Amino acid sequence: MANSAHSHAGHDDHDASHGSVKSYAIGFILSVILTVIPFGLVMYPSLPKAMTLWIVLAFAVIQVLVHLVYFLHLDRSAAQRNNVIAFVFAALVIVLLVGLSLWIMFSIHTNMMAH
């Protein structure tokens, strides 16, 4: 009998980490807004291309954060600390791999064009 009560308490704790319908709705609405604005800027250009690019990149970063908070439920709570650390480490590795690869390719391209 004690095992049954314990399993329900663990199940309730697991459900508490999931979002509510309101949380998912807010995340969905923010995601749609963060998609429609850059799409509109690209389809109907009214700003310089460089500014449009920076706005699209900023909205992309914000949208990743919205997804992490509202859909993946990553926050600064103690229960999510390991998940956040793992995510930050993975993001750092990806940024380093992509960034350094682009740097190397640009450097090779520049050096080959000089000859």
Domain ranges of the chain: 1-73, 78-115
Residue of higher predicted confidence among 58 and 74? 58
Alpha carbon distance 2, 9 (integer Å): 11
C-alpha closest to that of 52 among 43, 36, 41, 44: 41
Q: Give the pLDDT of residue 3.
A: 52
Alpha carbon distance 90, 74 (integer Å): 14
Q: Give the pLDDT of residue 9.
A: 46
pLDDT band at 10 (very low <50, low <70, confident <90, very high): very low
- Buried b / exposed e across 31-44, counting CB within 10 Å, b at 16+? beebeeebeebeee
What is the chain's mean pLDDT, rounded?
A: 85
Is 99 within 8 Å of 63 (Cβ atoms)? no
pLDDT band at 76 (very low <50, low <70, confident <90, very high): confident
C-alpha closest to that of 35 among 10, 14, 66, 70: 66
pLDDT band at 115 (very low <50, low <70, confident <90, very high): low
